[in-house]
Amino acid sequence: MAQRIDGKAIAARLVAATAADVGDLAARHGVVPGLAVVLVGEDPASQVYVGRKIAQCRRAGIVSIEHRLPAATAQQELLALIARLNADAAVHGILVQLPLPPQIDAARVLDAIAPHKDVDGFHPVNVGRLSTGAGGGLTPCTPLGCIKLLDTVVDDYRGLEAVVIGKSNIVGKPVALLLLERECTVTVTHILTRNLPDIVRTADIVVVAAGSPGLVRGDWVKPGAIVIDVGINRIVDGDGRARLVGDSVTAELDHAAAVTPVPGGVGPMTIACLLSNTVQAARAQLERAAAIGTDAARA
Ligand code: GUN
């Protein structure tokens, strides 16, 4: 039987550690981290995700500042809001929930967020820092969550074969970079990759983020491999009941060494990492302000 990696428990520990960091920042510096959450439109899944993010902020002691804008919001209006949030010292992190309505150019919006407040890690500066391994940037939450789950079952990544299924900017590409940084041999595949099952069979680590329910079958997975399933797909059973399934068929993965369940695997880690990124951003902003203060005192 494969080990189930308990994302819910690991995320709860990270939220508790983040809450302790929040308490420390408040006690030592009188600063409470603030996260601005921007939702444009009424996409039902986005509304659920944003609601969860705000609820978890409260649990960790982070102040969340909600901005819900109508679906018809003009790009200029959203850019003006981001400019205000960039300039607001009480806002340490800015998250614009994706997807955005079609009249808005998401890349322009993500570019407009100050890189040091970009707790999603989607700004080109943070993407660049991740891809060069320069450090000091903010790392996208879901990929970071995947690595934190892997860290509980992998001692030494060096030379392991990792196959990533999915090439999105939110998960596939950044998780591949994080695995490469740990010196895995990384293959990035996607839904049009030829011989996908054969490629996945070579993997010691499989990260699947394809948005395709049950894509990875038991006979795709090498005995002893680790499967991180990022998929969250709502399907309707034969009896008409809706349930959540991942991008792999967990019931066929008994021969794997470890797997993440859906729900209760990667999902809770995304929000926990968002909170810890917000505290990291707040701390960095404090340090920057202190350094500027020191320079000013010297001048
Ligand atoms: N939509 C789906 N995943 C994400 C995420 O991690 N961040 C944001 N901002 N939007 C998303």
78 and 146 co-located in one domain? no
Residue 293 has pLDDT above 90, yes or no: no
Q: Are 78 and 192 contained in the same domain? A: no
Which CATH number covers residue 254? 3.40.50.720
Q: Is the predicted pLDDT of residue 297 greater than 80, yes or no?
A: no
Q: Does some domain include residue 219?
A: yes
* Tens digit of each residue's pLDDT (9 = 90 or more) over 253-282: 999 999 999 999 999 999 999 999 999 999
Check whether 109 has a pLDDT greater than 80: yes
pLDDT band at 81 (very low <50, low <70, confident <90, very high): very high
Does residue 150 lie within any of the structural domains?
yes
Which residues, other chains included, contact 139 with Cβ-Cβ below 8 Å and sequence gap of 6+?
A: 121, 126, 130, 174, 178, 273, 277
Does residue 166 lie within any of the structural domains? yes
The CATH number linked to 45 is 3.40.50.10860
User: Is the same domain home to 46 and 161?
Assistant: no
Using one digit for the tens of pLDDT, what is the confidence trace for 276-291?
999 999 999 999 888 8
Range of the domain at 157: 141-268
User: Quick one: pLDDT band at residue 295, thresholds 50, 70, 90?
Assistant: confident
Query: Could you give the CA distance from residue 23 to residue 31 in angstroms, rounded to a whole number?
Result: 9
Number of domain units in the chain: 2
Q: Whole-number mean pLDDT of the chain?
A: 97
Are 115 and 87 contacting, i.e. CB atoms less than 8 angstroms apart? no
In a domain, 210, yes or no: yes
pLDDT of residue 134: 92
Based on the fold, state whether residues 218 and 100 are members of the same structural domain. Answer: no
Catalytic residue among 118, 120, 229, 247: 120
pLDDT in tens, 163-221: 999 999 999 999 999 999 999 999 999 999 999 999 999 999 999 999 999 999 999 99
- Examine residue 248 and state whether it is found in any structural domain, yes or no: yes
Q: Is-catalytic flag, 53?
A: yes
Instruction: Mark whether 231 and 157 lie in a shared domain.
Output: yes
CB 228 within 8 A of CB 195: no
Residue 245 lies in a domain: yes
Indicate if 97 belongs to the active site: yes
* DSSP state for residue 241 in the 8-state scheme: -
Find the helix or strand (DSSP H, E) in which 24 lies: helix 7-29
pLDDT digits (tens, 9 = 90+) for 42-68: 999 999 999 999 999 999 999 999 999
Residue 263 forms part of a structural domain: yes
Residue ranges lining ligand 1, Cβ < 6 Å: 95-98, 120, 141-142, 170, 270
- Mean pLDDT confidence for 13-18: 98
Residue 299 has pLDDT above 80, yes or no: no
Q: Is 78 among the domain residues?
A: yes
* Closest ligand 1 atom number to CA of residue 120: 7
Residue that terminates a domain, selected from 62, 96, 114? 114
Closest residue to atom 11 of ligand 1, CA basis = 98
